[in-house]
Amino acid sequence: MRGPHNIWRLIRTGATFERTGAMKVALEAMDVPPRLRAVARIMGWPFKWLGYKGDPNLPPVTRAITALGPAYIKFGQVLSTRPDVVGVELADQLRVLQDKLPPFSMALARQSVETELGAPLDSIYSSFSEPVAAASIAQVHSARLVSTGERVAVKVLRPGIEKAFRKDLDAFHFAASMIETLSPASRRLRPSDVVRHFEGVVMGELDLRLEASAASQFDANTKDDAGFTVPLPIWQYSGRRVMTLGWAEGLPLGEPETLRAAGHDLVALSERVLQLFLNHALRDGYFHADMHQGNLKVAENGDIIAYDFGIMGQIDEYTRRVYAEILMGFIRRDYRRVAEVHFEAGYVPADRDVNEFALALRAVGEPIFGMDASQISMARLLSYLFEVTERFGMETRTELILLQRTMVVVEGVARSLNPSMNIWDVAKPVVEKYIRENLGPKAAIRDLGRTLMVLSHFGPRLPQLVKSALEGQAQNDEETEEQRRAVTFPMILGALVIGASGLVVGLLL
């Protein structure tokens, strides 16, 4: 369905921003260059009458985004964590998108619960409150279990949410294909791949069984993390459209003044949020990828409570090591090494100049070290980063999109608590520990042990593999002796390696 009919959807997007007054506000807040600002206004103004009206009680940008639907709301949630990009006033307006959207009716919520769990609601919950939070995909109710009296949170998907998302995603796919067709230079950013990645993430969020599983896995990974708590799912009362999990009691992380009045140390909280994320991403390769203020609370004892596990990120061990080296390079202000890591990982084409790339990275890193964080214009920094990627032909890495996006969000959350924080100083102990444990001699020995252990599993099959290879070579009279040796030598070497692997692994372990 990704045809020209989506042009209508895209026109209505621009028209809605124009009709609600959001276009002018957004362009000014993000400090868009005057020429692009004029183009956007000219393109949107003729179609103003086609735009959605939205809720006139909401501020312009929030009004436009909520009128356009859930996929747009997701994007607005990200911007709400970046007052340094969109301005403090607009960020505060967008924070409504995190958990204060209009709820759907109690009758629909009860019906969804009973249909999904296959039992009358009153037989499962002794109490079931009005919605306590409502976001783009679901709303949450406070309840108590009949069986134990435990207070729980019951998350219920919005009716028709799947259809609404598919409509938006269809338009996004069409827009990406049009951009690639009309602007060949944009293909290095792989807009279609980015949309496909976003689609995979969002559609996974629409099955609450997967979210329950993610919460369980995340708790197992982080159970020993001091000052961090994950509410656990209650499996027998969870399904695809309904999830029941332990209640998270605490103050919202998005209310700094309330937290300060309650006696919490905002500087310590800001540092812990960032360090927890880095630990989860580097140590575990499994992290909460939707860590905006609406999904974080602070318990009375100061613990940070994370919830809403619909979007989780995973990165393999090799990528984690590359990411850690890049971070460490910035921390040490060793821009040459940062540049080399980008080339070694294939993030920058090999025909580009590593020295020039190092100089460009210095222009990114030095302002962060040289100024108080509250003085840094992240909007300008991001603009310059885009220029750097274009100049050096860097393609979008879809496997890193979620990691990079979450890093931006988490840093925004931390800076909302402590505007003067230096992210490099806070990140340094976490990154240094990871590098010490995963990039040194011990890590190399551990990697060798793992490799040999895997190879040893093929030991019983090696004689037959070698025999088949030799017989196949003998039947091919046209092969040269050199070609036969080239094929046979690796097989014999593999047999020797595997034969010795048991002894080596035993010594290592």
Name the strands in the sheet holding 242-246, side by side, starting at the edge strand that comes first in the sequence.
125-134, 138-145, 151-157, 242-246
CB 153 within 8 A of CB 231: yes
Which tokens hold the place of 336?
């040459």
Rounded Cα–Cα distance for residues 456 and 449 (Å): 10
Classify residue 281 by its DSSP letter.
I
Rounded Cα–Cα distance for residues 60 and 37 (Å): 17
- Choosing from 99, 290, 351, 447, the catalytic residue is 290
Q: What is each CA distance from 66 to 20, 22, 48, 74, 290, in whole angstroms?
A: 11, 12, 17, 10, 19
What are the start-end ranges of the H helices in 223-353?
A: 256-261, 266-279, 317-331, 335-344
Classify residue 104 by its DSSP letter.
P
Amino acid 372 reads D
What are the start-end ranges of the H helices in 345-456?
A: 354-370, 378-391, 398-417, 423-438, 441-456
Query: How many Cβ atoms sit within 10 Å of the Cβ of residue 381?
Result: 17
Which tokens hold the place of 287?
């992290």
Rounded Cα–Cα distance for residues 128 and 140 (Å): 10
Q: What is each CA distance from 487 to 374, 482, 495, in whole angstroms?
A: 62, 9, 13
Degrees to nearest 5, angle at CA 492 with 491 and 497: 95
Cα torsion 416, 418, 422, 423: sign:
negative
What are the start-end ranges of the H helices in 96-148?
A: 96-99, 106-117, 121-124
CB 195 within 8 A of CB 169: yes
Strand residues in 197-278 grouped as ranges (E): 228-229, 242-246, 251-252
Going by their DSSP bridges, the two strands 228-229 and 304-306 should be labelled as parallel
Cα torsion 255, 261, 267, 272: sign:
negative
Which tokens hold the place of 405?
């996006």
Rounded Cα–Cα distance for residues 304 and 268 (Å): 11
Q: Based on the residue annotation, tell me whether 193 is a catalytic residue of this protein.
A: no
- Provide CB contacts within 8 A for 390, sequence distance 6+: 185, 188
Active site residues per annotation: 290
